[in-house]
């Protein structure tokens, strides 16, 4: 249901190859062959539509939001240049947003799968018995868009520290169920102890991953498991620790994970683990993570040590390829962002998209996106 829109003619430096070329857009699709009567769109740097690979459209730091508010969140992402979102778990049915041509594409993971009192209230499906996990995974795989979200670890209040939610044999069966259904599995993990069981089970992506060690990084690299480190979320670990005074071991653990979070991401990237950009927008971490902050995450990845071009690819062409979406090739949906300057030279350029083309329709850039888009926390 592509809207009728005028044909476009763009000339610019296309990424990732950096070649200056002409592209045309007709009926919502990219053409490398000239299209008559195309409206020229001023050139610049043409970047395949940005990707937020860990985003929650449908929640804010206070919890679930109505669909109209979820649509507003999606508009904020679009105006920041994010045209493809991997939702990492919401309790809201966002399928109505997928029917709107003016909103980013959303790959839904369905509901977080957790255990009773072992995740944020009101967000996950809380299972009473861990043995229920494989059946719950099957149900979410049938509802979602090819991804299922597990909570891999969370504070165990009796132990006073992070602890895994699931026995290893249950995880192995649950991941096998997802894979047989054609779905991939992503898992929230902060600490060290849940990682061996999740990786042995064959999960496809680790979210946050602050507890990775040399051994688990090696295993991810061997298996091709992706990492979405959500650095603007893990920056809030000190705030989380400060508010966890009743659990001193947990607080100390979160501080230790925070202290090594950048070097952990650098080590994973260096070892060849595929690293992608995800903001965790919608999360209540710290003061809450607002939508529209993909530029901050890309800059944080570069600060952790990824080369600038790799950090940009982690939020564009590389992430699109991982999720099964093409870049700026003939016949692809015209989903791209135009910048006046080269974002490979200065990633802060990502804060000022000039034009955003989604399904062939031009949306003006949303102006400058700064780090001040935080929302109030739930308490
Ligand atoms: Zn999240």
Using the mean position of ligand 1's atoms as its centre, give its distance from the Cα of residue 84 in Å. 16
Distance 283 CA to ligand 1 centre (A): 6
Q: Which helix (H) or strand (E) holds 205?
A: strand 205-208
Residue 55 Cα, ligand 1 centroid: separation in angstroms? 6
CB 280 within 8 A of CB 233: yes
Cα 114 to ligand 1 centre (Å): 13
pLDDT confidence of residue 6: 87
| Residue 71 near residue 103 (C-beta atoms within 8 A) | yes
Report how far ligand 1's centroid is from the alpha carbon of 309 (Å): 25
Structure-token match 């600490």, residue found: 191
Please tell me the distance between residue 108's alpha carbon and the centre of ligand 1 in angstroms: 13
The alpha carbons of the chain give a radius of gyration, in whole angstroms, of 20
Pair of tokens at residue 302:
């570069």
DSSP label at residue 25: E
207 CA from centroid of ligand 1 (Å): 8
Distance from the alpha carbon of residue 90 to the mean position of ligand 1, in angstroms: 9
Q: Which of 25, 27, 84 is nearest to 330 (CA)?
A: 25
Half-sphere exposure of 103 (CA within 13 A, CB side): 20
pTM of the model: 0.94
3-class DSSP assignment, residue 87: strand
DSSP state of 290: P
Q: Going by C-beta distance under 8 Å and a sequence separation of 6 or more, which residues neighbour residue 19? A: 13
265 with 304: CB under 8 angstroms?
Answer: yes
| Residue 278 and residue 207 in contact, taking contact as beta carbons nearer than 8 Å | yes
Report phi then psi at 229, rounded to 5: -80, -10
Whole-number Å distance, alpha carbon 188 to ligand 1 midpoint, is: 7
Residues 6+ apart with CB under 8 A from 264: 209, 210, 212, 217, 229
* Strand partners for 358: 361
| Structure tokens belonging to residue 339 | 């910048």
List CB-based neighbours of ion ligand 1 within 5 Å: 88, 280
56 CA distance to ligand 1 middle (Å): 6
Identify the segments of the chain with pLDDT beneath 70.
1-4, 366-379
Q: How far is the CA of 379 from the centre of ligand 1 (A)?
A: 18
For position 367, what pLDDT does the model report?
52
Alpha-helix residue ranges (DSSP H) falling in 243-345: 248-259, 261-270, 294-304, 308-313, 317-323
């Amino acid at each position: 249901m592509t809207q009728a829109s005028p044909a476009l003619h763009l000339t610019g430096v296309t990424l990732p190859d950096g070649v200056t070329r002409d592209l045309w857009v007709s009926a919502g699709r990219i053409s490398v062959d000239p299209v008559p009567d195309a409206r020229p769109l001023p050139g610049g740097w043409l970047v395949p539509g940005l990707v937020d690979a860990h985003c929650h459209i449908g929640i804010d730091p206070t919890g679930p939001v109505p669909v109209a508010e979820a649509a507003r969140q999606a508009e904020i992402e679009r105006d920041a240049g994010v045209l493809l979102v991997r939702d990492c778990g919401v309790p809201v049915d966002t399928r109505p947003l997928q029917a709107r041509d003016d909103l980013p594409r959303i790959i839904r993971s369905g509901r977080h799968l957790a255990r009773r009192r072992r995740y944020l209230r009101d967000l996950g499906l809380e299972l009473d018995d861990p043995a229920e996990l494989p059946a719950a995974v099957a149900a979410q795989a049938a509802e979602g868009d090819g991804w299922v979200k597990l909570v891999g670890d969370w504070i165990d209040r009796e132990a006073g520290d992070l602890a895994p939610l699931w026995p290893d044999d249950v995880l192995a069966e649950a991941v096998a169920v997802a894979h047989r259904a054609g779905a991939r599995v992503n898992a929230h993990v902060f600490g060290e102890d849940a990682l061996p069981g999740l990786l042995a089970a064959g999960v496809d992506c680790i979210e946050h991953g602050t507890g990775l060690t040399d051994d688990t990084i090696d295993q991810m690299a061997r298996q091709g498991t992706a990492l979405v480190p959500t650095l603007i979320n893990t920056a809030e670990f000190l705030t989380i620790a400060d508010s966890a005074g009743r659990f001193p071991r947990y607080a100390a653990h979160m501080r230790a994970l925070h202290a090594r979070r950048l070097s952990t991401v650098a080590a994973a990237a260096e070892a060849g683990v595929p690293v992608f950009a995800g903001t965790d927008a919608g999360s209540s971490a710290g003061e809450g993570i607002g939508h529209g902050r993909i530029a901050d995450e890309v800059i944080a990845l570069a600060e952790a040590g990824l080369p600038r071009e790799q950090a940009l690819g982690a939020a564009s062409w590389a992430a699109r390829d991982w999720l099964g979406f093409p870049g700026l090739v003939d016949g692809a949906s015209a989903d791209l962002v135009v910048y006046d300057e080269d974002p490979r030279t200065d990633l802060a350029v990502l804060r000022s998209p000039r034009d955003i083309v989604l399904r062939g329709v031009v949306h003006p850039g949303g102006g400058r996106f700064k780090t001040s888009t935080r929302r109030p926390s739930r308490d």
